[in-house]
Amino acid sequence: MKNVFAVLIGTFLTVGCARTSPPTQVIHDTAEALGGRARIEGIKTLVIEGDGIAPNLGQNLTPDTDLPVWKVTEFSRVIDPSKSRMRVKQVREAQFLFAGATVQRQEFGVDGDIAYSVGEDGTATRASEWVGRERQREMLHHPITIIRAALEHDSKVSDVRSDGNFQLVDITNAKGDVFTLSIDRTTKLPARVSSTSYNDNLGDVVIETSFSDYEDVAGLKLPKRFTTKIDRYPQFDLNVTKNAVDANNGDFAAPETVKAAQVPPRSLPVTVTAEEVGKGIWWLAGSGNHRSVLFEFDDHLTLFEVPLNEMRTLAVIDTARTLRPNKPLTQAVVSHHHFDHSGGLRAAVARGLTIITYRGNVDFFKDLAARKHSIVQDALARNPQLLKIEAVDDELILKDRTMEVRLYHLKDNPREGTNLFAYVPRDRMHVQADMYDSNWLQHPWGDNLPYNLELHHLQVEKSVPVHGAIQTYADVLKTIQSRRAHAGS
Ligand SMILES: [Zn+2]
């Protein structure tokens, strides 16, 4: 009986397989539809020019609202597939209120394993190996380059399957990167390609690029629209104004200075300094421009902000614990959900801290704490802990005999819908993130800062920030007045 059953299953499997074409046939058909294998393999360069929209991931008003966007006014990408080289140049303009340069010119590239960026002054800087690997994958998010990769002898093509009007097939390149290609059954043209990547905040993510609006160029079919998503977020929507083949035979090798430069690590080393800015209050600065503030209570310590990423946050927690070794660090206020401010959330949870944040961040933080981090195992993946979270509505007062810290929800700010700031009445001290930075080029929401302090009749004398320098409140107001120009307009 057992044997008969096995034979039956075997028959079904054979029938199942016979219905789909073998992987190489699918790739062959797609190559034919795109212009033929010989044409694809003979390409020297692909030039893509256009304009588009590039959302700013992790910087929305609230965790659920649309991302603010950069308008990409000029875009060009040159790919030399035979040498695995790509160079991208773009100009982007902020379509949101922004305190930095609202028009930015960017240039970056990859040459084999070597990734680099070129500053506005022309100086080229080497990027990490990780960035190189990401850009190599990005180069294959194109119908021609992915089919070309699939045709290489050391690639593996497998698992042809159906999904409605599309055939899906997995392509594993020589480096071991896996891409899922989705092919339109009718036109035989690639519709989408996806691959996995890792994002410090989101963990394991799928990056997917859709291709549409194909045109004929020099015997090839090339898409006029590329739409890329990372996880559930839009990443780039490119409208192609020019597809050119072999029109640019320039040299896209990495600059010599970059080739000779040392490969930087994925994250730069972190230093944390501690400056006592009031009795039992420390400003934890050091490298970078993301700081935390530590408050000493009767029987515990509370951090304001676990910023940027795991490396920064673990270093901040370690430093905080050396300042009052006999009192446990038990809580972290996370000012808001922006990725550079919630980047240490998972590390803080891994270290057992209770998270205090505005109610509007709670669901999002639960999601961040629950996400899968298997491509890079972060502190929480290595040491799973339950998320302990305390939601704040309009205000929360943390108070005992030693310390009083009042937390307030920031009202009516155009960039920050879920932000908490702190006030220490004893020291007339204001502690905040993103309401103000002494280094900003302009202060498009400068009026919102005094507005919020006045709402609660706070008598601020000293400003101790997450970004920028410690200043008197008088100097804060002076700085805002001197750089009032509005951005993004
Ligand atoms: Zn910030």
Distance from the CA of 467 to the center of ligand 1, in angstroms? Answer: 7
SS3 460: coil
Mean pLDDT, the chain, rounded, equals: 94
Distance from the CA of 289 to the center of ligand 1, in angstroms? Answer: 9
Q: Has residue 19 got a pLDDT over 80?
A: no
| pLDDT confidence of residue 3 | 43
| Cβ atoms 315, 379 nearer than 8 A | no
Q: Has residue 466 got a pLDDT over 60?
A: yes
> How sure is the predictor about 267, in pLDDT bands with cuts at 50, 70 and 90?
confident
> How sure is the predictor about 251, in pLDDT bands with cuts at 50, 70 and 90?
confident
Distance from the CA of 335 to the center of ligand 1, in angstroms? Answer: 9
- State the number of CA atoms in the 13 A half-sphere of 357 facing the CB: 31
| pLDDT confidence of residue 484 | 82
- The label of the residue with tokens 């010989």 reads 38
Q: Has residue 367 got a pLDDT over 60?
A: yes
Q: Has residue 488 got a pLDDT over 60?
A: no
Kindly provide the residue ranges of all beta strands, DSSP E only, lying in 319-361, ordered along the sequence: 329-333, 354-358
| pLDDT confidence of residue 23 | 76
Q: Has residue 208 got a pLDDT over 70?
A: yes
Tens digits of residue pLDDT in 86-125: 999 999 999 999 999 999 999 999 999 999 999 999 999 9
Distance from the CA of 237 to the center of ligand 1, in angstroms? Answer: 25
Distance from the CA of 448 to the center of ligand 1, in angstroms? Answer: 16
For residue 435 the two structure tokens come to: 């309401």
Tens digits of residue pLDDT in 399-441: 999 999 999 999 999 999 999 999 999 999 999 999 999 999 9
Q: Has residue 5 got a pLDDT over 80?
A: no
Q: Has residue 4 got a pLDDT over 50?
A: no
- Mean pLDDT throughout 54-83? 97
Q: Has residue 2 got a pLDDT over 80?
A: no
- Mean pLDDT throughout 202-218? 98
Of the listed ranges 76-90, 147-161, 188-202, 475-489, the least confidently predicted one is 475-489
> How sure is the predictor about 366, in pLDDT bands with cuts at 50, 70 and 90?
very high
Strand order in the sheet with 462-465: 395-399, 404-409, 420-424, 429-432, 462-465, 471-472
Q: What are phi and psi of 366, to 5 degrees?
A: -60, -40
Q: Tell me the whole-structure pTM to 2 decimals.
A: 0.92
The four Cα atoms 162, 167, 168, 169 give a dihedral, to 10 degrees, of 120
> How sure is the predictor about 248, in pLDDT bands with cuts at 50, 70 and 90?
confident
Distance from the CA of 414 to the center of ligand 1, in angstroms? Answer: 14
Distance from the CA of 341 to the center of ligand 1, in angstroms? Answer: 6
Distance from the CA of 417 to the center of ligand 1, in angstroms? Answer: 13
Reference 88, options 44, 131, 135; nearest CA is 135
For residue 380 the two structure tokens come to: 């929480």
At 135, the amino acid letter reads R
Q: Has residue 370 got a pLDDT over 90?
A: yes
Q: Has residue 10 got a pLDDT over 80?
A: no
Distance from the CA of 328 to the center of ligand 1, in angstroms? Answer: 27
| Cβ atoms 337, 361 nearer than 8 A | yes
- Count CB-CB contacts under 10 A for residue 154: 9
| pLDDT confidence of residue 13 | 42
- Mean pLDDT throughout 3-27? 54
Q: Has residue 8 got a pLDDT over 80?
A: no
Q: Give the span between the Cα atoms of 413 and 432, in whole angstroms.
A: 13
Kindly provide the residue ranges of all beta strands, DSSP E only, lying in 13-100, ordered along the sequence: 46-55, 69-80, 85-94
| pLDDT confidence of residue 20 | 57
Distance from the CA of 179 to the center of ligand 1, in angstroms? Answer: 34
| pLDDT confidence of residue 14 | 40
Distance from the CA of 20 to the center of ligand 1, in angstroms? Answer: 51
Distance from the CA of 413 to the center of ligand 1, in angstroms? Answer: 14
Distance from the CA of 388 to the center of ligand 1, in angstroms? Answer: 24
Distance from the CA of 476 to the center of ligand 1, in angstroms? Answer: 17
CA distances to 78, 129, 258, 403 from 125, in Å: 19, 13, 6, 46
| pLDDT confidence of residue 15 | 41
Q: Has residue 485 got a pLDDT over 80?
A: no
